[in-house]
Amino acid sequence: MAGRAQPVSPAAGLAAAALVAAVILGPVAAVLWRAEGGRGLGPADWAAIRFSVTQAVLSATLSVALAIPVARALARRGFPGRAVLVTLLGAPFILPVIVAVFGLLAVFGRSGWISDAASLVGLPPLQIYGLHGVVLAHVFFNLPLATRLILQGWRDIPAEHFRLAAQLGFGPRDSTRWLERPMLARLVPGIWAVVFAICLTSFAVALTLGGGPRATTVELAIYQAFLFDFDLGRAALLALIQIALAGSAAALALWLSPGEGSGGGLDRMTRRWDTGGPGLALWDGALIALTALFLLLPLAAIVADGLGGLTRLPPQVWEASLRSVLVALASTALMLVLALPMALAVASGRRLAGDGAGILGLAASPLVIGTGFFILLNPWISPASLALPVTALVNVLMALPFALRILIPAARDTAQGYGRLGLSLDMRPRDWLARVVLPRMRVRLGFAAGLTAALSMGDLGVIALFADAEAATLPLQMYRLMGSYQTEAAAGAALLLLALSLGLFWVFDAVGRRGAEA
């Protein structure tokens, strides 16, 4: 499109998108090729499909339904520490899954804080394993994500609309009807579909909190078919079903993504006149406080339980920590190499370059991709020797959809605001990238890099299939400690993994913000 012209050709982005598609679809095709029919799906597989869809629907519905009032309360209330709280809302999403599960067990488990308090008044301990445990963990991860996305919708309503509503005498109900509901109607379906796709492909949560065959997801069924039965036909069929379900949800999210917004404004700070009386303020405060407790108590439990365990960590944990950091850094570097040209290609009007990769990244099973690489590599080299590089590559593919959602808006703004000027100055692509694109996208690049590094640090997927004792990452080593009932050491490993994940995120995000242009 002429309005999105820029000195950089979209060819690099299109090539990166094609490479991503090949890396995802190639291993899936290899699994299908080696499947040899298999024995088909049994009753347990259909039960896993039903459970996956059920828990994903419940998790997405609860996450979004709870996020709407919390986001509304944050949007119309100002209080000391609000900015810090909003920032902390992003912590659970980047928290390693295995660490978050450890924190949830410490708070909601049979021997957790709440069960201990309940025993004082004669109540039975909580039961966290099964469907309710999986849903609880998914709400813990996705409630902050949905809240942040919906809160951005409130921020996008121009301040002039609220000013006009105040002049017309609108109360909270009127503002909800005429300003907030139209915005929610645009945002909520797409957010729900994204959360559904994330929950549908859950692996580590079901592995640790499923509690048995009745709480097995499709991803966990694929893992069992590969590792225990080596039934590639059944695993491939399950993978196709998962791709169809998650791909449909991801495509629905893109189709339902907001088009026209709330109209233009003057970018003023949004002052709210519809905050209501003391009763509404008390309601908003209670919502914010309960949400903060729900999200921060597991983090506090990880810190409290892990401090003593740090001194009991075996040497293998420290070696695994170094491997995890190296894998995370490699994943982050490769993500930037792929995501930046793809975002610029989308900014030039090639939307499929970003959205297609996003759909594949959300829908594909990391375990199927990893096993496909196993099949492709096995004739020439031992796949176990490449467990870490394959893990890094799969981490890139899983983080890429989120990185693109972060980078594409900034790439579009840069192309629309400065693209024609760059062409009129006959800037070379290298100068355009160095002088215009990187300075203006530096903040988002840092955030995307930090998110990728944190997600990669906590991944427990492909590495669980192929790693041996000498190639274990920190999440896998922690899972092994939990399985051998070394509780104190596992708690120390959880705290170490939490510190490394948040530390990497903070470093990349801080580097992106330092010296960035306004």
Structure tokens at 311: 């001194």
| Exposure b/e, 131-149, CB count within 10 A at least 16 = b | bbbbbbbbbbbbbbbbbbb
Domain shared by 135 and 9, yes or no: no
Half-sphere exposure of 348 (CA within 13 A, CB side): 19
Cα 239 from Cα 241, distance rounded (Å) = 5
Percent over 90 (pLDDT), the chain: 6
Q: What integer pLDDT is reported at residue 413 of this predicted model?
A: 75
Radius of gyration of the chain (CA): 24
Domain shared by 95 and 232, yes or no: yes
3-state secondary structure of 8: coil
**DSSP 8-state symbol, 231:** -
Q: Yes or no: say if 185 and 175 are a contact pair by the CB < 8 Å rule.
A: no
Domain shared by 112 and 27, yes or no: no
In a domain, 264, yes or no: no
Domain shared by 156 and 106, yes or no: yes
pLDDT at residue 431 tops 80:
no
pLDDT at residue 48 tops 50:
yes
In a domain, 267, yes or no: no
In a domain, 494, yes or no: yes
Domain shared by 324 and 297, yes or no: no
Mean pLDDT on 162-185: 64
What residues contact 214, with CB distance under 8 A and at least 6 apart? 47, 51, 130, 131
The string of pLDDT tens digits covering residues 268-289 is 445 555 555 677 778 878 888 8
Q: For the ranges 75-89, 154-168, 197-211, which has the lowest average pLDDT? A: 154-168
Structure tokens at 257: 């993504």
What's 471's domain CATH number?
Answer: 1.10.3720.10
Q: Yes or no: say if 73 and 287 are a contact pair by the CB < 8 Å rule.
A: yes
Mean pLDDT on 26-44: 73
Cα 374 from Cα 466, distance rounded (Å) = 9
The string of pLDDT tens digits covering residues 439-491 is 878 888 888 898 899 888 887 767 776 766 667 888 888 888 877 778 788 88
Q: Provide the mean pLDDT of the chain.
A: 77
**SS3 sequence of 252-268:** HHHHCCCCCCCCCCCCC
Percent over 70 (pLDDT), the chain: 77
pLDDT at residue 242 tops 50:
yes
Q: What integer pLDDT is reported at residue 482 of this predicted model?
A: 79
The string of pLDDT tens digits covering residues 218-234 is 888 887 777 777 777 77
Q: What integer pLDDT is reported at residue 66 of this predicted model?
A: 92
Cα 185 from Cα 161, distance rounded (Å) = 17
Residue at token pair 């017309």 = 168
Domain shared by 320 and 453, yes or no: yes
In a domain, 254, yes or no: yes
In a domain, 266, yes or no: no
User: What letter represents residue 95's amino acid?
Assistant: L
Domain shared by 9 and 62, yes or no: no
Q: What is the DSSP string of 162-175?
A: HHHHHHTT--HHHH
pLDDT at residue 243 tops 90:
no
pLDDT band at 422 (very low <50, low <70, confident <90, very high): low
pLDDT at residue 266 tops 50:
no
> What is the crossing angle of helices 11-34 and 232-255, to 10°?
150
pTM summary value: 0.75
pLDDT at residue 420 tops 90:
no
The string of pLDDT tens digits covering residues 179-220 is 667 777 777 887 888 788 888 877 778 777 876 667 778 888
3-state secondary structure of 145: helix
pLDDT at residue 436 tops 90:
no
In a domain, 368, yes or no: yes
Domain shared by 126 and 255, yes or no: yes
The string of pLDDT tens digits covering residues 91-114 is 777 777 778 888 888 888 887 888
> Measuring CA to CA, which residue among 406, 411, 390 is closest to residue 331?
390
Q: Yes or no: say if 287 and 468 are a contact pair by the CB < 8 Å rule.
A: no
Mean pLDDT on 377-387: 73
Mean pLDDT on 253-258: 61
Cα 64 from Cα 144, distance rounded (Å) = 10
Domain shared by 87 and 11, yes or no: no
pLDDT at residue 132 tops 80:
yes
**Domain tally for the chain?**
2
Q: What integer pLDDT is reported at residue 171 of this predicted model?
A: 60
Q: For the ranges 40-54, 235-249, 332-346, 447-461, which has the lowest average pLDDT? A: 235-249
Q: What integer pLDDT is reported at residue 169 of this predicted model?
A: 57
Cα 193 from Cα 197, distance rounded (Å) = 6
3-state secondary structure of 217: coil
pLDDT at residue 260 tops 50:
no
Domain shared by 17 and 142, yes or no: no
pLDDT band at 335 (very low <50, low <70, confident <90, very high): very high
Half-sphere exposure of 146 (CA within 13 A, CB side): 32
Mean pLDDT on 243-253: 74
Cα 90 from Cα 443, distance rounded (Å) = 16
Structure tokens at 77: 């209330």
Residue at token pair 């659970």 = 92
In a domain, 322, yes or no: yes
Cα 155 from Cα 334, distance rounded (Å) = 33
Domain shared by 446 and 511, yes or no: yes
Q: What integer pLDDT is reported at residue 334 of this predicted model?
A: 94
pLDDT at residue 34 tops 90:
no
**SS3 sequence of 63-127:** HHHHHHHHHHHHHHCCCCCHHHHHHHCCHHHHCCHHHHHHHHHHHHCCCCHHHHHHHCCCCCCCC
Domain shared by 219 and 325, yes or no: no
Q: Yes or no: say if 432 and 8 are a contact pair by the CB < 8 Å rule.
A: yes
> Measuring CA to CA, which residue among 32, 133, 143, 139 is closest to residue 369?
32
How many residues are recorded in the chain? 518
- Chain centre to alpha carbon of residue 153: 19
Cα 343 from Cα 336, distance rounded (Å) = 10
In a domain, 154, yes or no: yes
Domain limits at 328? 1-34+313-518
> What are the percentages of helix, strand and coil residues in the chain, rounded to 5?
80, 0, 20
